[in-house]
Amino acid sequence: MSISLSRLDPSGADRSGLIEFFTSNGFPFHVHSAPWTVDKVADMIASGAFRNDDNDSFWILDDDLGAVGYVRLEDLNDDTPLFDLRLSTEFRGRGLGVGCLSALTDHVFETKDAERFEGHTRADNIAMRSVFLRAGWSKEAHYRRAWPVEGHSPQDSVAYAILREEWASGVSVDVHWHDFP
Ligand SMILES: CC(C)(COP(=O)(O)OP(=O)(O)OC[C@H]1O[C@@H](n2cnc3c(N)ncnc32)[C@H](O)[C@@H]1OP(=O)(O)O)[C@@H](O)C(=O)NCCC(=O)NCCS
């Protein structure tokens, strides 16, 4: 299995693909969990949310399976970029997540100056949390009741990150959880 990223042209060649992807998949751990409407995807494309100065989006390609998902890099002008990773429903739970996150991490540290790369998810998104850990990321924060859930009480939110130094060396740097003297 080899994973690569293919940069999206949201308002050109990839417009119909984006509409198909977001209207045909649900995202149970995102704030908006239902498949999107065509209008919402169109509005997002028009707003530049998929590609502008601060955001860039890619299809995730598997050598054997083809396009397995989508990822958006966010806050690209900040010191710490973030991401939004979504596999198509049919490719979830098949062990692809670590390769996807590793390819994304390689891309960020190989093409950007960032010293850190960060991701947030809902605390009960065990698949994503497992992927973070298996890809060598460290948990840096736990926000209580910070993740809005439509029609339900907010869930906890967690943040993971990887340092350029960790990516380059393969060795984790301590998070200093118990630093208070
Ligand atoms: C989150 C996501 C990227 C994980 O990738 P994946 O390829 O599906 O994950 P994997 O198949 O490698 O599974 C990772 C681990 O979670 C476990 N797992 C998978 N689905 C699970 C589920 N629904 N509930 C509990 N555990 C689950 C797997 O057994 C595996 O455990 P292990 O690390 O002990 O082997 C993918 O499921 C996805 O795109 N989900 C929808 C969008 C999303 O939630 N994105 C995250 C927001 S950034």
pLDDT, one tens digit per residue, over 80-106 is: 999 999 999 999 999 999 999 999 999
Angle between helices 38-47 and 15-24 (to 10 degrees): 130
Tokens 């960060």 sit at which residue? 118
Give me ligand 1 centre to Cα 130, in Å: 7
Which residue owns the Cα nearest ligand 1 atom 28?
127
CA-wise closest residue to 173 among 162, 157, 158: 162
pLDDT of residue 128: 98
Question: Do 57 and 73 form a contact (C-beta atoms < 8 A)?
Answer: yes
How far is residue 5's CA from residue 145's CA, in Å, rounded to a whole number? 33
Return the SS3 of 106.
Answer: helix
- Name 62's bridge partners: 3, 66
State whether the beta carbon of 84 lies less than 6 angstroms from ligand 1: yes
Helices assigned H by DSSP within the chain: 15-24, 38-47, 97-111, 126-134, 164-169
State whether the beta carbon of 125 lies less than 6 angstroms from ligand 1: yes
- Ligand 1 atom closest to Cα of 125? 44
Give me ligand 1 centre to Cα 87, in Å: 9
CATH fit for domain 3-169, picks 3.40.47.10, 3.40.630.30, 3.40.50.300, 3.90.1170.40 = 3.40.630.30
State whether the beta carbon of 131 lies less than 6 angstroms from ligand 1: yes
What is the identity of the amino acid at 71?
V
How far is residue 11's CA from residue 9's CA, in Å, rounded to a whole number? 6
Dihedral pair phi/psi, residue 15, rounded to 5°: -55, -50
pLDDT tier, 169 (very low <50, low <70, confident <90, very high otherwise):
very high
Give me ligand 1 centre to Cα 170, in Å: 22
Q: Which of 90-114 are b and which e, b meaning 16 or more Cβ less than 10 Å from the residue's Cβ?
A: ebeeeebbbbbbbbbbebbbeeeeb
State whether the beta carbon of 126 lies less than 6 angstroms from ligand 1: yes
Q: Summarize pLDDT for 120-165 with one digit per residue, the tens.
A: 999 999 999 999 999 999 999 999 999 999 899 999 999 999 999 9
Per-domain residue ranges for the chain? Answer: 3-169
Element at 181 (helix H, strand E)? none
Q: What is the pTM of this model?
A: 0.96
Give me ligand 1 centre to Cα 127, in Å: 3
pLDDT of residue 133: 98
